[in-house]
Amino acid sequence: MKALSITAILLATASPILADPAVEVMHFWTSGGEAAALGVVRDKVMADGVAWIDAPVAGGGGDAAKTALQTRIASGNPPAAMLMLGQNIVDWANEGLLGNADALATAQGWDAALPLAVQEFTKINGNYVSVPTNVHRTDMIWASKAAFDKIGASYPTSWAELNALAPRFREAGIIPLAHGGQAWQEAYMFEAVAAGVGGAEFYRKALIELDDATLRGPEMVAVFEQLAQLRSMVDPNFPGRDWNLASAMVINGEAAMQIMGDWAKGEFTNAGKQPGADYACIPVPKDNGDGFVYLVNSLSLFAQTDPKAQTAQEVLASAIMDPAVQIAFNQAKGAIPARTDIDLSALDACAQQTSHALAANDAGGTAVPTFAGTHAADAAVVGAATDAITLFFNSDMPAEDGAASLADAIAAAL
């Protein structure tokens, strides 16, 4: 993989007006909050003299984007940068198709600015092949303050408390749980429940180590029992619903809660809602200790031979890592900055709470990478598991059968 030039680094750092370089960015950030966040990077790149070619592919889980990317690569025309997650980055890097921003990273001190958890999914085989925009927490509940006020309830601190709220919300004419019935959404719900019911150590053994005995054990059955509780809380129209439309149900008070990663906060922000006053951002209940499930978003860099294209990539990479861009991006996206060396005071209470929780869980060894987002396991394993999870959620399958189905699917994929 061809390293980027020092000359280009100096030009990028100086925010040059370049001779018509352009950078094409393929992504699946198409909801309001996501688009607003990406717009922060776009504006910085364009201000630095590089044209931005937007290549969005709708679909919040990124499956359609992965298919589109494979088509582009097969035709010999990859984008300059692509939003991808976890093990997908590792796979493309191992194929030798990704370039790197190592010279820029050295010049700008990325190693000192980025936590190891972020580097694990951006610095592959010693090379910065991907540039991190943010870290997300995936095991979150988004709750309508108006809905909880209507029934006079406090936010749940255990799964038993959450389950007991469902009939009270129904009696008040409120849908207990907003959900979008898409396979990727059910996979993220599953990992949130796994961390909440089983705890971080269980999560690690089951979904990172893929230990068969743990996958088939009583704790996993308990996870599926809680999933069965949740599937009884959704409305009949949930199949096929996009995640941001489920968020809108909470925003407008039609539903009480949504279990979704903290990218959902971007929708609340985009709607002019304030944490505390209009909604609550709380981790899913942790019945077995602490835990924090994280996802790293980044734009991966495909190898370029044209010096202008390489320079444009560096301008993009430098823009993403700019401290002001990291703050503004995450204000819109609902996440927390990838960098740990910047002032977080401009972020809202939810983001600051999430940042502190990540630091505490990282120090305590209870921060675990997302399974649904293909950080903890590769795409083949996650795909097989997701099929089993979504089949369970969209049926009346018993919890014991759900756990066995998941274990069988993962064993077959290994």
pLDDT in tens, 358-369: 888 888 889 999
User: How does pLDDT run across 256-293, given as a tens digit for each residue?
Assistant: 999 999 989 888 988 999 999 999 999 999 998 889 99
Q: Say yes or no: 94 and 242 in one domain.
A: no
275 within 8 A of 138, measured Cβ to Cβ:
no
Contacts with 116 (C-beta within 8 Å, 6 or more apart), sequence order: none
Would you place residue 6 in the very low, low, confident or very high pLDDT band (cuts 50, 70, 90)?
A: very low
Q: Are residues 327 and 311 located together in one domain of the fold?
A: yes
Q: Cα(first)–Cα(last) distance of the chain, in Å? A: 29
Q: List the CATH number of the domain containing 13.
A: 3.40.190.10
Section 66-88 average pLDDT? 93
16 pLDDT more than 60: no
What pLDDT shows up at residue 289? 81
Domain boundary at 307, 324, 345, which? 345
Query: Which whole-number Å values give the CA distances from 263 to 117, 247, 270, 413, in the listed order?
Result: 19, 10, 12, 29
d(CA 400, CA 217): 9
pLDDT in tens, 229-246: 999 999 999 999 999 999
Residue 32 lies in a domain: yes
218 and 359 belong to one structural domain:
yes
Domain stop point among 345, 362, 377: 345
50: helix, coil or strand?
A: coil
Nearest residue to 314 via CA among 30, 57, 48:
48
Whether 82 is covered by a domain: the verdict is yes
In a domain, 111, yes or no: yes
Give the list of residues 6+ apart from residue 35 with CB closer than 8 angstroms, or none.
29
Give me the count of residues in the chain.
Answer: 414
194 contact partners, CB below 8 Å, separation of at least 6: 202, 203, 206, 207, 220, 223, 371
Answer yes or no: is 1 within a domain: no
- The pTM of the full predicted model, rounded to 2 decimals, is 0.85
Dihedral sign of CA atoms 280, 285, 289, 294 in order:
negative
Based on the fold, state whether residues 116 and 20 are members of the same structural domain: yes
Q: For residue 303, what are the domain limits?
A: 6-134+297-345
Report pLDDT for 1.
35
* Residue 158 maps to a domain: yes
Judgement on whether residues 161 and 272 belong to the same structural domain of the protein? yes
Reduced to 3 states (helix: H, G, I; strand: E, B; else coil), residue 52 is strand
Residue 391 lies in a domain: yes
pLDDT in the model for residue 60: 64
Same structural domain for residues 207 and 162?
yes
Does one domain contain both 145 and 173?
A: yes
Q: 153 with 190, same domain? A: yes
Query: How many angstroms separate the CA atoms of 325 and 308, rounded?
Result: 23
Is 50 exceeded by the pLDDT of residue 62? yes
Kindly tell me if the per-residue pLDDT of 4 is higher than 90: no
- Compute the average pLDDT of residues 80-88: 94
332 pLDDT higher than 80? yes
Whether residues 191 and 237 share a domain: the answer is yes
pLDDT value of residue 100 = 96
Average of per-residue pLDDT across 387-392: 98
Same domain, residue pair 123 and 159: no
Instruction: Give 158 or 66, the one with higher predicted confidence.
Output: 158
Q: Residues 309, 360: one domain? A: no
The CA distance from 110 to 96, in Å, is: 22
The DSSP secondary-structure symbol of 205 reads: I
Average pLDDT (23-45) is: 94
pLDDT band at residue 2 using 50, 70 and 90 as cut-offs: very low
- Portion of the chain with pLDDT greater than 70, in percent: 95
Which pLDDT band holds residue 5 (cuts at 50, 70, 90)? very low
Q: Is residue 243 part of a domain?
A: yes
Q: Which of 109-118, 127-136, 284-293 has the highest mean pLDDT?
A: 127-136
What is the spatial distance between Cα 136 and Cα 111, in angstroms, rounded to a whole number? Answer: 20
Residue 105, domain member (yes or no): yes
- Cβ atoms 85, 301 nearer than 8 A: no
State the average pLDDT for the chain: 92
Q: Is the pLDDT of residue 251 over 90?
A: yes
Domain boundary among 328, 345, 362: 345
Q: What is each CA distance from 405 to 75, 206, 229, 398, 399, in whole angstroms?
A: 38, 14, 18, 11, 10
- 46-60, 77-91, 137-151, 353-367: segment of lowest average pLDDT: 353-367
pLDDT number for residue 388 = 98
How many domains would you assign to the chain? 2
Specify whether 29 is located in the same domain as 76.
yes
pLDDT surpasses 60 at 13: no
Q: Which two tokens stand for residue 229?
A: 């509780």
